[in-house]
């Protein structure tokens, strides 16, 4: 097995040396996983919230045609994703059919 140089944990302020193929030391790996799960749960809660359902339903009522293919729209897409600073403003929303929305999401790299 070739010898690999150890590097510092990526957690800000942690100087623990870890194996080349790791990102965090054991302590911070566990903490990072907890933070990721909290973030995922908050995201899930928002997308199932009354606020988002109201925005979505109202937008689909006004915009029932897929902006890409012209078929019946079933989903609302953020043109600039929320995770990249996009908002729920109507100018940042578009109605898409399920197929076009799946393709767009995959192209943006959020799957896999």
Mind listing the pLDDT tens digit for each residue in 8-65?
999 999 989 999 899 999 999 999 888 888 888 888 888 889 999 999 999 999 999 9
| Domains: count for the chain | 2
Mind listing the pLDDT tens digit for each residue in 21-30?
999 999 999 9
Does residue 41 sit in the same domain as residue 83?
Answer: no
Give the residue from 110, 101, 45, 32 showing the smallest Cα distance to 68. 101
61 or 105, which is more confident: 61
Does residue 11 sit in the same domain as residue 56?
Answer: no
Q: Are 76 and 60 in contact (CB under 8 A)?
A: yes
Quickly list DSSP for 5-59.
--EE-SSTT---EE-TT-SS-HHHHHHHHHHHHHHHHHHHHHHTSHHHHHHHHHH
Does residue 28 sit in the same domain as residue 67?
Answer: no
Does residue 34 sit in the same domain as residue 20?
Answer: yes
Does residue 15 sit in the same domain as residue 58?
Answer: no
Look up residue 30 and give its two tokens. 């566990």
Does residue 55 sit in the same domain as residue 110?
Answer: yes
Does residue 10 sit in the same domain as residue 60?
Answer: no
Give the domain extent around 92. 50-112
């Amino acid at each position: 097995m070739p010898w690999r140089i150890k590097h510092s944990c990526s957690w800000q302020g942690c100087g623990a040396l870890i194996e080349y193929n790791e990102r965090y030391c054991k302590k911070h790996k566990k903490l990072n996983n907890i933070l990721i799960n909290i973030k995922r749960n908050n995201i899930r809660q928002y997308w199932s919230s009354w606020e988002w359902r109201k925005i979505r339903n109202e937008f689909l009522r006004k915009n029932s045609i897929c902006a890409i293919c012209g078929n019946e729209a079933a989903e609302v897409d953020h043109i600039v994703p929320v995770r990249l600073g996009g908002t729920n403003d109507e100018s940042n929303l578009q109605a898409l059919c399920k197929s076009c929305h799946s393709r767009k999401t995959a192209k943006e790299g959020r799957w896999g």
